[in-house]
């Protein structure tokens, strides 16, 4: 196989003396037929089980969040391209990738519509089951990137007052965090998990955060488990500092605090972004990145499967997706966190 890369006026031709091999997380849906058109050999493995022996003779690696891509995994391998079919990339050791000369990519924005659908459905459930009048409530959005901006559009459509905090973006109409702490009735987090720098997000919602709250808000976290200190959240619930809680992400996944799970209004197994539409978006982004890196012609785009023919949608969003169903499954079988996530049923954002 001949791979041509150009940089300026220089052209480098890399000749592979062995067939092209790609290792793929076996829970990435819809990608198999397309990826098998591009590679001579494709190996599917559970993400948490992918180890050095699996990738030693691989040219590319396609993962989700369950595979830690670092020196321990990749040193001594021939991997030159890593793609994670997720928006988050805290499982990618970017410093090592740069040192090792391995190109890597994530899929920013791929599931923004899916997470926005999840948040909208949660808000409608709060209105339906808890008697909350959304048009009279203030939504505080922490993080206004691909996902947060879509959630902002949802809030506007539902007639909610909206406050947005995102210091790195510095938009003129954004507010500081203390404004959200004072004025928001519902606070939803849409930030990456970072541990250092001026805007580190690890335990952004910690014990001090909960004690600064002026109201007794509803807390929603669909970003990363470590953004909200789960122990502090449980204490805040005990102390009456927060009202209802919705968690799609948890510290220590797939293990989670079962008392916290029992008490949250909605608790789901990290599937807010798991619509078929979001997954297909990620698949296509990965395929484009792979083809660009290896100089291959891109195949036709993957499309999501259709809903069953007997599905009849009358127009209410909860008919299309109701997170209470996912919550009931997790609360009934918390030990099945990974299988509930890995074998997630078909969900569409649109009919």
Q: Angle at the Cα of 111 (from 58 to 319), degrees rounded to 5?
A: 130
Burial class (CB in 10 A: 0-12, 13-18, 19+), 143: buried
Whole-number Å distance between alpha carbons of 91 and 105? 12
The answer for residues whose C-beta is within 8 angstroms of residue 324's C-beta and 6 or more apart is 125, 266
Q: Cα–Cα distance between 176 and 179 in angstroms, integer? A: 6
Does the active-site annotation cover 301?
no
Q: Strand 41-45 to strand 21-25: parallel, antiparallel, or no bridges (unpaired)? A: parallel
Catalytic residue among 224, 341, 347, 348: 224
Q: What are residue 138's DSSP bridge partners?
A: 161
Q: Catalytic annotation on 211?
A: no
Is 224 known to be catalytic?
yes
Give the number of residues written for the chain.
351
Which residue among the candidates 64, 137, 146, 270 is catalytic per the annotation? 270
* CB count in 10 Å sphere of residue 231: 14
DSSP3 helix / strand / coil % (the chain, rounded to 5): 40, 15, 45
Q: Which of 41, 127, 183, 253 is catalytic?
A: 253
Provide the annotated active-site residues: 224, 253, 270
């Amino acid at each position: 196989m001949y791979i041509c890369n150009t940089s300026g006026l220089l052209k480098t031709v890399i000749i592979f003396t062995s067939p092209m091999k790609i290792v793929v997380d076996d829970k990435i849906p819809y990608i198999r037929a397309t990826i098998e058109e591009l590679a001579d050999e494709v190996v599917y493995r559970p993400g948490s089980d992918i180890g050095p022996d699996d990738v030693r003779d691989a040219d590319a690696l396609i993962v989700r969040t369950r595979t830690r891509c670092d020196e321990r995994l990749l040193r001594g391998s021939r991997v030159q391209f890593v793609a994670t079919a997720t928006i988050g990339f805290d499982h990618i050791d970017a410093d090592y990738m740069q040192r090792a000369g391995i190109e890597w990519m994530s899929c920013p924005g791929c599931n923004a519509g899916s997470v926005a659908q999840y948040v909208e459905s949660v808000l409608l459930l709060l209105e339906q089951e808890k008697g909350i009048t959304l048009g009279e409530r203030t939504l505080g959005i922490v993080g206004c990137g691909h996902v947060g901006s879509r959630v902002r559009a949802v809030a506007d459509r539902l007639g909610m007052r909206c406050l947005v905090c995102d210091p790195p973006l510095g938009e003129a109409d954004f507010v500081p965090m203390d404004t959200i702490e004072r004025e928001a009735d519902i606070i939803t987090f849409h930030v990456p998990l970072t541990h250092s720098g001026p805007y580190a997000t690890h335990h952004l919602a910690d014990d001090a955060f909960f004690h600064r709250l002026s109201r007794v808000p509803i807390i929603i976290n669909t970003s990363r488990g470590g953004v909200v200190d789960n122990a502090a959240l449980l204490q805040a619930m005990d102390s009456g500092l927060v009202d209802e809680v919705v968690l799609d992400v948890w510290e220590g996944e797939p293990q989670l605090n079962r008392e916290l799970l029992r008490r949250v209004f909605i608790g789901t197994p990290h599937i807010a972004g798991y619509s078929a539409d979001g997954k297909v978006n990620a698949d296509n982004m990965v395929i484009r990145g792979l083809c660009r890196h290896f100089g291959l012609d891109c195949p036709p785009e993957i499309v999501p499967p259709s809903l069953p023919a007997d599905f009849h949608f009358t127009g209410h969003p909860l008919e299309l997706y109701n997170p209470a169903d996912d919550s009931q499954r997790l609360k009934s079988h918390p030990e099945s966190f990974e299988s509930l996530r890995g074998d997630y049923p078909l969900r569409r954002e649109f009919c």
